[in-house]
Amino acid sequence: MPSNVETKEEGSLKIGILEVQGAFLEHKNALLKAKEKMKLPVQIETYEVRNPSHVTSSLDGMIIPGGESTTISLFLKRNNMIEPLRDWIQNRRHVTWGTCAGMIILAKQNENQKIGGQPMLDVMDTDVSRNYFGRQVHSFEAEVNLSDSFTQVCPGDKTYHGVFIRAPAVVQTLSPKVEVLATFTQKEKAEDVIVAVQQENIIATAFHPELTEDVRWHQFFIKRVLTNKTLP
């Protein structure tokens, strides 16, 4: 995987993947598989993001994989990446997708945060509960319910097989700009829990689409990147 990118080439999408923890290789493979299924005439190039010099305007999209949110956020702080990433995300032509820990790091509010707090990107109007479903031993797989707006972009089943690993959840949206893309019906509480959201050019999922064979979420991300790349 190339370590940096300086110029944009016509006919290609350049996606940065924050390579601190998590299944970044699986995300890369899922992006390429999604591209093939979509029969896109453009190339998808992925780049590691590990220091401020990697966060460039040449990137069209960014994925923040799962992992341990405290470890990731402290890595970003130690490497002076908080402000460069925040500035990059706030450009509406750039599309960011956070999975699991990425959802926590993108949020403006976090419940059950560790003592002393942790640096966040504070770019998404969501209140997220860390480890909402319990600790690692409570990881599970289940069907999630997809919104109409998602299936309009990526037609198919109205459900998606979600892999939840020590997963968070959105307990409250803080702005009407936040759109719910998927919910999970928690039977023991008889309520729907928000597990995927979108706010303009930012997407967040509590589950791990990169760990399944269904690449619709990666297709959704790619289509959003293609759309936003053409914005003035």
Indicate which residues carry an active-site annotation: 100, 208, 210
Instruction: Give the burial string for 143-168 (b: 16+ CB within 10 Å, else e).
Output: ebbbbeebbeebeeeeebebbbbbbb
Cα 189 from chain centroid? 26
Spatial neighbors of 48 by CB under 8 A, at least 6 apart, are: 1, 2, 3, 16, 17, 19, 24, 54
H or E segment at 186? strand 178-186
Taking the C-alpha atoms of residue 178 and residue 168, their distance in angstroms, rounded to an integer, is: 17
Vertex 105, ends 167 and 140: CA angle to 5°?
10
Distance (Å, whole) CA 37 – CA 193: 30
Q: Where are the alpha helices (DSSP H) in the chain?
A: 24-38, 69-78, 82-89, 101-106, 148-153, 216-229
Helix (H) or strand (E) holding 96: strand 95-99
